Amino acid sequence: MPPSVPSPSLPRRVARMLRTSLFAQVACAIVLGVVVGKLWPDFAADLKPLGDGFIRLIKTIISPLVFCVVVVGIAKAGDLKAFGRIGLKALIWFEVASTLALVIGLLAANVVQPGSGMNVDPSSLDASAVDEKTGGGHLPSTTQFVLDTIPTSFIGAFAENSLLQVLVLACLVGAALLHLGHTKVPQVLRAIEQAQEVIFAIVGFVMRLAPLAVFGAMAVLIGNYGLGVIETYGKLIVLCYAAAALFIVLLAIALRVVTGLSLWKFLRYIREEMLLALGTASTESVLPRVMQKLRKAGARDDAVGLVLPTGYSFNLDGASLYLSIGTLFIAQAVGVDLSVGQQITVILVLMLTSKGMAGIPGSAFLALSATASSLGAIPAGAVALLLGVDRIMDSMRVVTNLLGNCVAVFAVSRWEGALDRDRAKKVLDGEIVVDLEEDEESKEGEEPGTPELEKKPGTPDAAEPVTASARTAKEAATEAG
């Protein structure tokens, strides 16, 4: 009988976990950041570049990554019409989900009345603080928003890091590859695939800095705002988080009904990314890794590449919740009683303004100011009431926005037949272990460097874009053989 191997001691297990687990590293960074921010607030303010630098590094690779994933997805799907259907279904899902979030927010604010009894005099508020927060910017009109999705130059879309413009370019390039076929541009698709693998490798390098970024961001948050704001705005904070929890429960039910998957298992699957998004207060910081994990969990490349980045502009469920509750909170605080018709106007205005918020500094305050102006009953300066609590709401917005977009990917993929449900269930159940640091494709016997796609019996080689002419050529060659 072989001698039993002694299990490692607790300190060694903890040290190994801290060395190998991103989740453990980020969790420790959050705790340390809170402690440093509470004890040394002046020093904590100097740590802001840690979080800002990390976000900048991530942003540099988001646009090329989205471009590569979408081009490869279209080219390998071999059907541009299917890609168009995915986009249309995604927009329908986004509109329904964000409108539901707005309605839930209004109902919750009407029931709880978080701003009642405050009796704030709007003239006592510093409206210039809102201008400082927003940098004097403004939300684009609907026409301008549509025009802004059209790039003025190929390089400019990447230089400005405009995801919607990059998506338009990716769709055009993918369509061109389908039109030309593999005989005219045999190396282009393979080069884009290889560029995609290089970008994912860069993501792996950058993610090693995530604990430092979370530490800096949390220290700055606690150092600047402290914990006293929670006492002042406790009722509003609890209401927003409770409404977000209700919305997430509805997301879980929708995901179960549409796909048969569990949102709680998915949350465990992306726990590292979720904790990182919470620590940095940014969903952009985890976009590359979430795209990877969704692909590994059975969602096809074209669905992931189109739905997730588009959702970052069109499906801000957490922001929609916050805006609707915030609007009624402001009205109640200054003693304005909004009628049912005015509240319906709030929903209609926010349905438009919330779509153009992504990437605009202080966009929540711009949307609130636009809503207040459209009603004509709420003083514009009253928006300053939310300045002290806005940063505390970031965690709620980040979690709800991210989960809402991930559920949209699964739901639209299932709707379009672009989801491998068997693989998704095995991944979420832990039967298939996904390690983004390793080449999973080579483990499963696939050609290294080839993105993982849904393969069907009898389909052409997935490494080539397939057109009708390509199929005819292959059939002719088979008959001649």
Cα–Cα distance for residue pair 358/433, rounded to 1 Å: 33
- DSSP codes of every residue in 54-81: HHHHHHHHHHHHHHHHHHHHHHHHT-HH
C-alpha to C-alpha distance for 92 and 426, rounded to whole angstroms: 29
**139-163 pLDDT, tens per residue?**
566 677 678 788 888 888 888 878 8
Which pLDDT band holds residue 471 (cuts at 50, 70, 90)?
very low
* Residue 409 contacts residue 307 (beta carbons within 8 Å): yes
Please give the biggest Cα pair distance in the chain.
86
- Residue 72 near residue 451, CB atoms below 8 Å: yes
SS3 category, 117: coil
- Intra-chain end-to-end CA distance of the chain, in Å: 60
pLDDT band at 213 (very low <50, low <70, confident <90, very high): confident
Higher pLDDT pick, 374 / 399: 399
* Structural contact between residues 346 and 322, judged by C-beta atoms closer than 8 angstroms: no
- Predicted pLDDT at 131: 56
**Burial readout 217-251 (b: 16 or more C-beta within 10 A, e: otherwise):** bbbbbbbebeeebeeebebbbebbbebbeebbeeb
Q: Contact, 449 vs 465, CB < 8 A? A: no
The pair of structure tokens assigned to 334 is 């200054």
Q: Are 269 and 427 in contact (CB under 8 A)?
A: yes
pTM of the predicted structure, to 2 decimals: 0.77
Q: CA-CA-CA-CA torsion for 172, 357, 98, 93, nearest 10 degrees?
A: 0
Q: Output phi, psi for 419, to 5 deg.
A: -125, 125
Do 166 and 158 touch, CB atoms closer than 8 A? yes
Instruction: Give the CA dihedral 284, 285, 289, 295, nearest 10 degrees.
Output: -10
Helix (H, G, I), strand (E, B) or coil at 2: coil
| Secondary structure (3-state) at 40 | coil
pLDDT band for position 87 (cuts 50, 70, 90): confident
Residue 453: is its pLDDT beyond 50? no
**Of the given ranges (281-290, 394-403, 448-457), which has the lowest mean pLDDT?**
448-457
Of 374, 377, 370, give the one whose Cα is nearest residue 338. Answer: 377
Q: How many CA atoms lie within 13 A of 358 on its CB side?
A: 22
What pLDDT shows up at residue 225? 63
Residue 258 near residue 417, CB atoms below 8 Å: no
Q: Are 299 and 413 in contact (CB under 8 A)?
A: yes
Length of the chain: 481
pLDDT, tens only, 220-269: 877 776 655 566 677 888 899 999 999 999 999 999 999 999 999 999 99
Residue 24 has what pLDDT?
Answer: 81
Please give the pLDDT value at position 182.
Answer: 64
Per-residue confidence (pLDDT) for residue 150, from 0 to 100? 85
- When pLDDT is cut at 50, 70 and 90, the band that residue 449 belongs to is very low
Residue with tokens 């927010």: 105
Distance of CA 364 to the CA centre of its chain: 17
Per-residue model confidence (pLDDT) at position 103: 92
DSSP-derived secondary structure for 224-262:
HHTTHHHHHTHHHHHHHHHHHHHHHHHHHHHHHHHH---
3-state secondary structure of 184: coil
Are the beta carbons of 399 and 318 closer than 8 angstroms?
yes
Q: Residue 133 pLDDT more than 60? A: no
Q: What is the pLDDT of residues 312-351, one digit of tens each?
A: 888 888 888 988 898 888 888 888 888 888 888 888 888 7
55-83 average pLDDT score: 82
The one-character DSSP state at 5 is: P
Question: Among 45-59, 173-187, 302-316, 411-425, which is the least confidently predicted range?
Answer: 173-187
Report the candidate in 294, 316, 332 with the shortest Cα–Cα distance to residue 396: 316
